[in-house]
Amino acid sequence: MALSRGLRCCARVFSWIPVLIITSVVLWSYYAYVFELCVFTISNTLEKVAYLLVFHVCFVMFSWTYWKAIFTPPATPCKKFQLSYSDKDRYEREERPDAQKQILVDIAKSLPIFTRATSGAIRFCDRCQVLKPDRSHHCSVCETCVLKMDHHCPWVNNCVGFSNYKFFLLFLSYSMVYCVFISASVFRFFINFWVGDLPNGPAKFHVLFLMFVALMFLVSLMFLLGYHCWLVVQNRSTLEAFSAPVFTTGPDRNGFNVGIRRNLQQVFGDNKRLWFLPICTRFYTPTLFLERYPPVGFILQPCSWRDTLLFLEVLYSNLVPGEIPSCRFYTPTLFLERYPPVGFTLQPCSWRDTLL
């Protein structure tokens, strides 16, 4: 027990190594660009200021997005998806697998779950004891189920999923911008150092390496970002690209695809001006409203599937009166336009109903 805890602790420490490597490379690139290139090599003041200005914009955007990708905790299924004590007891006491499956089917009836395991059963995580919401998966590194899980990324030492996918994409984009700017602006000096027009010294070594490292990262980032752009346009996660999600009607690789514009909105939000900033922007009007006027409680009411689209996200919140729910922005169900359910919605049942 103590050994496994020790090993886990070691693994947690070692998992920061890739982040440390990236941080060290970036800090070195900062020193090499700002001091060795701009301060010690470039003599023209105007050129120096222009390079430093653009460089710092790229550097700040890169650092901001990297920070957000690393430190945004993965969104996990809310309490509604956890088995209650009585359900858990019933599930554990039942020994027949078919009866256990039926118990999960009964519980899932009150939840917005539309995907199934390949066997057709309700997706259930034994370790977290939750019914898995659509698109969520268990991450063995984070030891939890993660909403709209894409993959566990060692370079950010975090699960890339619903809560930080936008930040991760922006991180890849700004890393690329950073590398493109460095290679483009360093190129002239790289040639000058190479042919001997500039004197030998530490600056030469830094500039040559800056060029090589920027190009090396640029090539790898191009492939990775290209692949993720393709995934966003198709509304697929990396995991779904490898194994198609299974709906009640069977597997469908395009099950979540609701058109390019709305696929992009699901990741980047409604407000296009905030698309390029690492700020959480996946708001929809009803949620914004509920944030200001937390309802006292909710009841489920049948409705058309169009209403369901507007309100389903609220189901993912913890619905504690007065508390801002942690998973309130999870809107995985826009795909329902392709699979219209009978429908149900949440109706706030406090005096604030009238405001809605």
Interface with Zn ion includes 239 (CB under 5 A)?
A: no
Interface with Zn ion includes 128 (CB under 5 A)?
A: yes
Question: What is the bridge-based pairing of β-strands 137-139 and 124-125?
Answer: unpaired
List all residues 6 or more positions away from 253 whose beta carbon is below 8 Å from its beta carbon.
236, 240, 244, 245
In the complex with Zn ion, the residue whose CB is nearer, 142 or 310, is 142
Question: Which among 165, 169, 151, 161 has a CA at the least distance from the CA of 76?
Answer: 161
Shortest Cβ distance from residue 132 to Zn ion (Å)?
Answer: 7
38, 78, 128, 153: the catalytic one is 153
Amino acid at residue number 92: E
Shortest Cβ distance from residue 145 to Zn ion (Å)?
Answer: 3
Q: Which listed range, 2-10, 126-134, 184-192, 225-233, lies at the site for Zn ion (CB under 5 A)?
A: 126-134
Shortest Cβ distance from residue 142 to Zn ion (Å)?
Answer: 3
Cβ atoms of 298 and 319 closer than 8 Å: yes
Q: Which listed range, 117-125, 200-208, 218-226, 285-293, lies at the site for Zn ion (CB under 5 A)?
A: 117-125
Pick the binder of Zn ion from 80, 116, 123, 152 (CB under 5 A). Answer: 152
In the complex with Zn ion, the residue whose CB is nearer, 159 or 315, is 159
Q: Which backbone phi and psi does 237 adopt, to 5 degrees?
A: -90, 165
The neighbouring-strand residues paired with 348 are 298
Question: Which among 336, 330, 272 has a CA at the least distance from the CA of 307?
Answer: 336
In the complex with Zn ion, the residue whose CB is nearer, 36 or 150, is 150
Interface with Zn ion includes 153 (CB under 5 A)?
A: no
Interface with Zn ion includes 186 (CB under 5 A)?
A: no
Shortest Cβ distance from residue 136 to Zn ion (Å)?
Answer: 8
Q: Structure tokens of 73?
A: 């905790």
C-alpha dist (Å) from residue 14 to 8, 10, 73: 10, 6, 19
Shortest Cβ distance from residue 154 to Zn ion (Å)?
Answer: 10
In the complex with Zn ion, the residue whose CB is nearer, 139 or 170, is 139
Q: Say how many residues touch Zn ion, by CB under 5 A.
A: 10
Pick the binder of Zn ion from 104, 142, 225, 274 (CB under 5 A). Answer: 142
Q: Which listed range, 49-57, 106-114, 140-148, 232-240, lies at the site for Zn ion (CB under 5 A)?
A: 140-148
Q: Structure tokens of 47?
A: 């050129």
Collapse the DSSP code of 345 into the 3-class scheme (helix H, G, I; strand E, B; otherwise coil) and give the result: strand
Pick the binder of Zn ion from 75, 78, 113, 159 (CB under 5 A). Answer: 159
Interface with Zn ion includes 231 (CB under 5 A)?
A: no
Interface with Zn ion includes 334 (CB under 5 A)?
A: no
Collapse the DSSP code of 139 into the 3-class scheme (helix H, G, I; strand E, B; otherwise coil) and give the result: strand
Interface with Zn ion includes 138 (CB under 5 A)?
A: yes
In the complex with Zn ion, the residue whose CB is nearer, 159 or 186, is 159
Interface with Zn ion includes 145 (CB under 5 A)?
A: yes
Q: Which backbone phi and psi does 94 adopt, to 5 degrees?
A: -75, 130
CA angle 328, 174, 39 (to 5 degrees): 140
Active site residue 327: no
- Could you give the CA distance from residue 133 to residue 76 in angstroms, rounded to a whole number? 9
Interface with Zn ion includes 125 (CB under 5 A)?
A: yes
- Could you give the CA distance from residue 212 to residue 208 in angstroms, rounded to a whole number? 6
Cβ atoms of 159 and 152 closer than 8 Å: yes
Other C-beta atoms lying within 10 Å of the C-beta of residue 109: 8
In the complex with Zn ion, the residue whose CB is nearer, 141 or 280, is 141
Tell me which residues touch Zn ion (CB under 5 A). Answer: 125, 127-128, 138-139, 141-142, 145, 152, 159
Catalytic residues: 153
